[in-house]
Chain A
Amino acid sequence: GQQVMQIPQYQHVQEGEDFTTYCNSSTTLSNIQWYKQRPGGHPVFLIQLVKSGEVKKQKRLTFQFGEAKKNSSLHITATQTTDVGTYFCAGPDNYGQNFVFGPGTRLSVLP
């Protein structure tokens, strides 16, 4: 079945440093979504990418969908303590089935 992997599993950065997490799917995705989960909270939707090679920005966050629609990345510029949490990528396969979340990348930001 479809598998979604994310690296790194953990990332500790100093406030102000940049951060990137990478997401890879074993199958082509029809779209990819990114969620953020704060400690003790629930996943919160950040963004959805649909087109091959698509790039979207939200303030300091940049999201990219790979040309083959099997990988994606989230880059945060100049991290802040409010960025702390676990970032998940998720998506259905190209047949619109099997909605799968990645294991997440846990980000810690040291002030």
Chain B
Amino acid sequence: GAGVSQSPRYKVTKRGQDVALRCDPISGHVSLYWYRQALGQGPEFLTYFNYEAQQDKSGLPNDRFSAERPEGSISTLTIQRTEQRDSAMYRCASSSGPYNQPQHFGDGTRLSIL
């Protein structure tokens, strides 16, 4: 596609529910990143993939957070048993290579936990 696409744009759910956030990167981009961005803050690194391999998941806050990219293209970030503190903008970015290439960001998913 022309850019990084994220869905849904907005997600409101009750505490304790599981949520799955989707990212469709730019076609041909091998690297995919997930970030969390609080209002007025910089993006906080969560995890990144090269093709289908999860290379670094050191930023995932706890074991309720997981991500996958099974075919090296679309990725899903899953949050289990959501808590109010999980409320944030979740952003996906893709690049043609890891860390030393420009990252192209999607519009994000605004997650609100009630």
Chain A: residues with CB nearer than 8 A to chain B?
A: 30-31, 33, 35, 42-45, 48, 50, 88, 90, 92, 96-104, 106
SS class, residues of chain B in contact with chain A: loop
Known contacts A31-B100, A42-B106, A44-B105, A99 near B45 by CB under 8 Å:
yes
Closest chain A residue to B43 by CB distance?
A: A101
The answer to whether B103 touches A45, judged by C-beta atoms less than 8 angstroms apart, is: yes
Question: Interface size (B, Cβ < 8 Å)?
Answer: 23
* B residues with CB within 8 A of A: 33, 35, 40-45, 48, 56, 58, 91, 93, 98-100, 102-108
Q: Chain A residues with Cβ under 8 A from B99's Cβ?
A: 30-31, 92, 96, 99
Q: Which residues of B contact A98 (CB under 8 A)?
A: 45, 56, 58
The interface residues of chain A lying within 8 Å CB-to-CB of B48 are: 99
User: Ordered nearest first, which 10 A-B pairs have the shortest CB separation?
Assistant: A101-B42, A45-B102, A42-B105, A92-B99, A101-B43, A103-B42, A104-B42, A43-B105, A88-B42, A99-B45
Which of B43, B45, B98, B100 makes the CB contact (< 8 A) with A43? B43
